[in-house]
Amino acid sequence: MEIPRYLPDRPFPPYAYLPGRDAHPTRDPKGHSYGEELETSECSSPHDWRDNAEYLWGVDLYNHGFLWEAHEAWEGLWHPAKRDPVLAGFFQGLIQCAAACLKIPMEQPAGLARLSTMGTQKLEEVEREVGEEFMGLELTGFTEAMRTFAASAPPSVEGRPRIVLATEK
């Protein structure tokens, strides 16, 4: 399956950070993002998701195996979104799903189970509030796929569900 890129001109970091294995991206001088400013941006409206570069960047990172980096990109949106419970819940759910997948190569199955449950529950709360699609993501399909994936005791992150966003306006 070819995985779409939503920001194809933005290059990926030279490596996907894995805690305990790699130089920390921002705190270690050898890290791939050391010295870079952390981006925090507003998500003015969930309806304008196609114009939200940090959201799309997080999706690209997640889909292509940069799980920690996706978590960080979405966290930069989650903090300012906290005044909007639906938007904050959406970002928090994505963050927790990415963090859950990161637990697989860290060999922490309990973390995978706990974080995937928390993340999918957040996304289900969003679905109850706004319906099946939010910010281009079909919530039911993604949450069901994430639950199935996490419950399968996956040996690698390769089989994780990808985020495919709506293409129609």
- Could you report the per-residue pLDDT of 115-126, keeping only the tens digit for each? 999 999 999 999
**Nearest CA-CA partner of 19 in 117, 119, 93, 104:** 104
Fold of the CATH domain 49-159: Hyaluronidase domain-like (1.10.3450)
**Confidence (pLDDT) at 40:** 58
**What is the torsional sign of CA 117, 129, 40, 10?**
positive
104-151 pLDDT per residue, tens: 999 999 999 999 999 999 999 999 999 999 999 999 999 999 999 999
Express each pLDDT in 11-50 by its tens digit: 999 888 888 766 666 666 666 666 676 555 666 678 889 9
Q: What is the pLDDT of residue 146?
A: 98
Taking the C-alpha atoms of residue 142 and residue 124, their distance in angstroms, rounded to an integer, is: 10
- d(Cα 153, Cα 13) in Å, to the nearest integer? 28
